Structure formats: C-alpha cells, structure tokens
Amino acid sequence: MFLDYYNFEPLLAGIHAALCGVMPEWAALTLEGLAVGVAIMLMYAVLAVVLIYMERKVCAAFQCRIGPNRVGGKGGLLQVPADVLKILTKEIISLNRADRFLYNLAPFLVILASILTFSCLPWNKGAEILHMNIGIFFVLAASSIGVLGILLAGWSSNSKYTLIGAVRSGAMIISYEVSIGISVLTMVVLCGAMDIQTIVAGQADGWNIFKGHIPAVAAFVVYLIAGNAEANRGPFDLAEAEQELTAGYHTEYSGMHFGFFYLAEYLNLFITAGIAATLFLGGWMPLHVAGLDGFNAVMDYIPGFVWFLGKTFVIVFLLMWIRWTYPRLRIDQVLTLEWKYLMPTSLVILLLMTVCKVCGLTF
C-alpha cells in the first residue's frame, strides 16, 4: 500500500486560493502561468548542463580518459557553464541563399516540441505541469513536431550536407515513431488508461515491468532502442555523421540557433528516459516488495520526485552506455532494423499483452 507523504496538490491548491484572495482569478492564473514558465525554463537549462557534463564524464570513462578536469577544479564542474556562456556570445550568421524565415523558424520548432513533451513528465503527485486525460497521446503528438524543425533546417539552409542529414533524420524518426507508439500502446493496454497520473497511480502495487510479465519487459527493450533512435543518439546518429556530413542538418547554424538543437538533443534524451521510467518503472512510485512492510514503509519516506529522477538518470546512463559501446550503423541497417525486426516484434508484443489482459494473466 502506497502512503502518500509528498502530495503537492494541497500545496498548489493553497497557493492558488491565497492568490485568488488578493487578486482576480484571471490575474492569479496569469501569474501562475508565468511562474510555471520560468520554472520550466530553469529546469530545462539546469538539466541540460547536468546531462552534458554527465555525457562527457561517461564518455571519458568508457574511453579510459579523464574528461573535463580544468575549468572549475579537477572535476571540471564549470566547463559546461563556460561553454554555455561562450555559445551565448557567438554571432548568429545569416546565409545569403537560405530561406530566411524557415531557417530561423526551424530551431524554435525543435525546442518547442521538446518543451511541450518535457512539460508532460510526472515529477511527483500533483507536480505534472500539463495534465490531461489523454496525456500519452499528447506526448506522442507533441514529440512529432520536432521532425518538422529538422526537415526545415536541412532544406532551408541550401546545403547538400544539411539536406542529406535532414532526410536521414526524418526517415529515421518517422520510422521509429511506429515502434515507440506501439510500445507505449502496449502499456496503455496494460494500464487501461492514457492519463499519465493514472498510469503512475496504477503502479502503486507494482511497477508495470513486473506486472506485465515478458511482454512488458520486451516492450521496454523495444522502447529503449526506438527511443534512442528517435533522439538521434548513437549508434543511430546518422543524421550527424561527422565523417560524411560535418554536423548534418544543423551544419549551417551558429550561436544560439545551434545551441537550441544541441539543447533539444540532450533534453530529448532525458524525456525518452523519463517516459520509460513513467510507463515501465512506476514513475514517482517507490519500490515495494510484497511481505516486507518495514522496507516498504522506509521507501515511502523518499519523495516521489527523487524516485522519478533516480529512475530517469539510471535509464539515461544506460542509453549513454549504449552510445559509447556500439559503432554507428549505416542508414540501410537502421531502417532494416525498424521495419523488419522492431515493428513486427512490437506488434507481436502488443498482441500478447492484449491476450494477457483479456485472460487476466497480468498482476
């Protein structure tokens, strides 16, 4: 039985009531919206810095070297903030033969898709920024906007490198969205809901990866592979193959425009891991073991957002491990993996989960 010690709903309701007591409701809602927007941007920026630093250290460990170790002491803690400051001061170069409007619009579409999806992550009970009864459907729809920005960036830059990178990325993202959607639908079948908070609450007596037996474990593996590909992460980073395409679809971008693409890539990694933690590993729900009441009571005292961040960063480390272990695949191998193997496998998994649910074989 999950004991809810850290429910944010009463706190937020009290803040809203206090604001409505001193100002009109529309003003209170406006002020709350501004505060939430600032909070999102701060979390977005802080997590990006943490993930970039983590990536550099993990990469260094796998390659038997030290990583950042100069700026900010032996640990290099200030290296990433220094890089952020540098990119903020870089000039944004205008291309002569580019489609100016689409060229400038593309990075904002990529960052918009990332922020919308990021806002749906359930950090704690009562701490989901965008909450709706079709939350999973909205996540899939919002994440699909990003590919439009990538395609526009590649085409509007008027460069063969950016165009080839955009075509590769578009083909790969659109392809792997099929497997991601089917894996997510498998969990929707298991939970019987598309509301993200309902999905998390349904895992109070056990995480979905345990309740769904083998189909849930298989769907988790398929989701991780497809999610890694959709985030343009190695070994699926064909769109940014440096040896062939310099920087791929964002070759012609500089300054903060390039920073938007760079930022979105790392936050998409976090979002992919966060959704996996939500659907398969209980989200902000603690770990409970049947029969160990004392252990379960101790687990309940750990705040939900700590559980969510812990699970998410474990999956982030796993995805980084995959990136720095396997070599980059060819584009034909990437698409063959999806259409010949992952997509048929995910369909079989969905069928098995449906049968298990109908026959009452799930916990």
Q: What is the pLDDT of residues 294-303, one digit of tens each?
A: 888 888 888 8
Q: In this structure, are 155 and 239 located in the same domain?
A: yes
pLDDT band at 164 (very low <50, low <70, confident <90, very high): confident
Q: In this structure, are 193 and 57 located in the same domain?
A: no
Report how far residue 233's alpha carbon sits from residue 235's, in angstroms, rounded to the nearest whole number: 6
Query: What pLDDT, on a 0 to 100 scale, did the predictor assign at position 242?
Result: 61
Report how far residue 164's alpha carbon sits from residue 155's, in angstroms, rounded to the nearest whole number: 9
CA distances from 189 to 177, 194, 283, 317 (A): 18, 9, 17, 28
- Is residue 293 packed enough to be buried (19+ CB in 10 Å), middle (13-18) or exposed (0-12)? exposed
Please report, as a single letter, which amino acid is at residue 245.
L
Question: Which SS3 state, helix, strand or coil, does residue 235 take?
Answer: coil
Q: Is residue 1 part of a domain?
A: no
For residue 235, cis peptide bond before it (omega within 30 degrees of 0):
yes
Report how far residue 15's alpha carbon sits from residue 8's, in angstroms, rounded to the nearest whole number: 11
Domain that includes residue 53, residue range: 8-89
Q: What is the pLDDT of residues 244-278, one digit of tens each?
A: 666 677 788 888 888 888 888 889 999 999 999 99
| Residue where a domain terminates, one of 53, 72, 89 | 89
Report how far residue 226's alpha carbon sits from residue 180's, in angstroms, rounded to the nearest whole number: 6
Q: In this structure, are 23 and 149 located in the same domain?
A: no
- Rounded to an integer, what is the distance from CA 162 to the centroid of its chain? 24
Q: In this structure, are 113 and 257 located in the same domain?
A: yes
Owner of token pair 């806002």: 119
Q: In this structure, are 106 and 172 located in the same domain?
A: yes
Q: In this structure, are 105 and 33 located in the same domain?
A: no
Q: Is residue 152 part of a domain?
A: yes
pTM of the shown model? 0.91
| Residue where a domain terminates, one of 89, 104, 122 | 89
Q: How much is the average pLDDT of 44-56?
A: 91
| Residue where a domain terminates, one of 54, 89, 124 | 89
Q: In this structure, are 148 and 294 located in the same domain?
A: yes
Q: Is residue 363 part of a domain?
A: no
How many domains is the chain partitioned into structurally? 2
User: Among residues of the chain, what percentage have pLDDT more than 90?
Assistant: 28
